[in-house]
């Protein structure tokens, strides 16, 4: 039987690292935090890292990869991996990597993502092919925009061109999508699917706390107009949420379908933590505009478990801890390869 003492859990010091490392320690693993110089304070202060490895920039991950391999470290991907290392480079990671690498390519490419969700019969906001087609409120999203920064809304082709002016000619702003704007409340569902138990769990929900979208309602409409405020969606934090219980059956089924469909698109399919991100409208339609095929930061409020994990586990169970348990079960069953991608 494999022994978890022979392995270490490592991740980049940002996004969900506190939760991942704490969860790994709770399961009995030694932990490594890869930190950018000068940004190690939280990981020291909260005592979640047994060891800190320093890089000048997360982009230098590959410079320390050999060392991680020597330490028998299992790397846990999160939002900062894709943001700083790049979805294209993640598949080239040679160190042990938790989760299906191939699926990250599907979640980071909007067209592929749509194909996957379509196949899983997930409702999504309509996509408009060109600015000329704008006949309703739409949201314009730039590819790879970090955390919704720079998105804008428009109601007509004229408004689109007016607002697009500031982005004209900027190389990273040529690639965008025009999506129907859904009026409703944002709901992000955190799932976990284990190949060992063969079960899909709902770990919790959150809504994002976005600047300035979440502050605009604090001033009168007249002031919004006078101040010429444009809505932006820069992510600053996450707010915990429980949802109407009668919606749960549908949300479980959506998760099942996403797992099932993922098997068609990559070998082995999706497993571990993932998240469906969308808006619930007044008719209770849940429109999904994004899937994250890895741990999301919306799980951070639940370091000590969520109302949903308390129903299932008689101990604190964060998503970080849940994935460490998945790895532990794999090691102890001598089937580690099953959870590596
Ligand atoms: P960071 O390490 O904070 O720069 O985040 C890396 C990536 O994860 C960025 O693309 C962020 O937009 C995203 N991200 C960070 N924190 C959150 C959060 N609390 N909720 C959603 N996305 C986040
Ligand atoms: P994203 O980067 O796709 O996660 O979107 C960032 C934020 O923009 C979301 O958290 C929502 O607040 C908002 N948003 C994105 N797409 C839509 C949509 N189709 N309808 C309404 N709001 C949206």
CA of 244 to the centre of ligand 1 (A): 27
DSSP letters spanning 97-125: EBS-HHHHHHHHSHHHHHHHHHHTT----
Pinpoint the residues of the chain covered by CATH 3.30.1490.20.
126-181
CA of 223 to the centre of ligand 1 (A): 30
pLDDT in tens, 219-266: 999 998 898 887 888 899 999 999 999 999 999 999 999 999 999 988
Q: What pLDDT, on a 0 to 100 scale, did the predictor assign at position 336?
A: 96
Is residue 172 scored above 70 in pLDDT?
A: no
CA of 198 to the centre of ligand 1 (A): 29
The SS3 call for residue 170 is coil
Counting ligands in written order, which one lies closest to the CA of residue 298? 1
pTM of the predicted model, to two decimals?
0.94
pLDDT in tens, 58-77: 999 999 999 999 999 999 99
Q: Are 196 and 233 in contact (CB under 8 A)?
A: no
Pinpoint the residues of the chain covered by CATH 3.30.470.20.
4-122+184-211+237-339
Q: Which residue minimizes the CA distance to atom 2 of ligand 2?
A: 148
The correct CATH number of 4-122+184-211+237-339 out of 3.30.470.20, 3.40.50.720, 3.40.50.1820, 3.40.50.1240 is: 3.30.470.20
- Which contiguous run of DSSP H or E holds residue 257? helix 248-265
Q: What pLDDT, on a 0 to 100 scale, did the predictor assign at position 90?
A: 87
Q: What pLDDT, on a 0 to 100 scale, did the predictor assign at position 80?
A: 92
Q: For ligand 2, is residue 133 a contact (CB within 6 Å)? A: no
Mean per-residue pLDDT, 79-91: 87
Q: Which of 104, 145, 147, 207 to mutate to test the pocket of ligand 1 (most atoms within 8 A of CB)?
A: 147
The correct CATH number of 126-181 out of 3.10.129.10, 3.30.1490.20, 3.40.50.300, 3.30.70.80 is: 3.30.1490.20
The encoded tokens of residue 123 equal 């409702």
Q: Which of 18, 82, 83 to mutate to test the pocket of ligand 1 (most atoms within 8 A of CB)?
A: 83
Asked if omega into 137 is within 30° of 0 (cis), the reply is no
Q: For ligand 2, is residue 182 a contact (CB within 6 Å)? A: yes
Average pLDDT over the chain, rounded to whole?
93
Q: What pLDDT, on a 0 to 100 scale, did the predictor assign at position 108?
A: 79
Q: What pLDDT, on a 0 to 100 scale, did the predictor assign at position 82?
A: 82
Atom of ligand 2 nearest to the CA of 145: 2
Q: Which residue has the tokens 């991608």?
A: 341
* Nearest residue to 302 via CA among 288, 314, 289, 320: 320
pLDDT in tens, 290-300: 999 999 999 99
CA of 289 to the centre of ligand 2 (A): 7
Q: What pLDDT, on a 0 to 100 scale, did the predictor assign at position 281?
A: 97
Mean per-residue pLDDT, 76-99: 91
Distances (CA, A) of 165 to 135, 136, 293: 20, 20, 34
CA of 337 to the centre of ligand 2 (A): 36
Q: Which residue minimizes the CA distance to atom 5 of ligand 2?
A: 148
Q: For ligand 1, is residue 87 a contact (CB within 6 Å)? A: no
Counting ligands in written order, which one lies closest to the CA of residue 36? 1
Q: What pLDDT, on a 0 to 100 scale, did the predictor assign at position 147?
A: 57
Q: In whole angstroms, what is the distance from residue 191 CA to residue 89 CA? A: 25
């Amino acid at each position: 039987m494999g022994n978890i003492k022979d392995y270490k859990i490592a991740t980049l010091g940002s996004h969900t690292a506190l939760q991942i490392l704490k969860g790994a320690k709770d399961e009995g693993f030694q932990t490594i935090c890869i930190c950018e110089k000068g940004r190690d304070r939280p990981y020291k202060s909260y005592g979640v890292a047994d060891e800190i490895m320093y890089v000048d920039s997360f982009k230098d991950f590959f410079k320390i990869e050999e060392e991680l391999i020597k330490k028998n470290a299992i790397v846990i991907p999160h939002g900062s991996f894709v943001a700083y290392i790049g979805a294209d480079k993640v598949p080239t990671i040679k160190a042990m990597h938790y989760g299906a690498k191939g699926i990250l390519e599907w979640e980071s490419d909007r067209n592929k993502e749509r194909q996957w969700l379509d196949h899983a019969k997930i409702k999504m906001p309509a996509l408009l092919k060109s600015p000329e087609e704008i006949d309703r409120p739409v949201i314009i999203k730039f590819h790879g925009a970090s955390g919704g920064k720079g998105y804008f809304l428009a109601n007509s082709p004229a408004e689109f061109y007016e607002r697009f002016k500031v982005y004209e000619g900027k190389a990273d702003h040529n690639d965008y999508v025009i999506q129907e704007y859904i009026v409703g409340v944002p709901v992000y569902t955190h799932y976990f699917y284990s190949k060992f138990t063969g079960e899909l769990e709902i770990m919790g929900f959150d809504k994002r706390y976005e600047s300035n979208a979440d502050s605009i309602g604090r001033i009168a409409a007249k002031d919004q107009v006078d101040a010429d405020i444009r809505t932006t969606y820069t992510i600053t934090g996450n707010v915990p949420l429980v949802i109407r219980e009668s919606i749960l059956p549908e949300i479980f089924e959506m998760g099942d379908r996403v797992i099932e469909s993922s098997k068609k698109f990559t070998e082995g399919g999706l497993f571990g933590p993932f998240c469906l991100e969308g808006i619930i409208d007044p008719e209770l339609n849940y429109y999904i505009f994004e899937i994250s095929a890895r741990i999301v930061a919306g799980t951070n409020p639940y370091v000590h478990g969520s109302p949903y994990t308390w129903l299932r586990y008689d101990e604190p169970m964060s998503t970080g801890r849940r994935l460490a348990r998945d790895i532990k079960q794999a090691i102890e069953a001598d089937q580690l390869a099953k959870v590596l991608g």
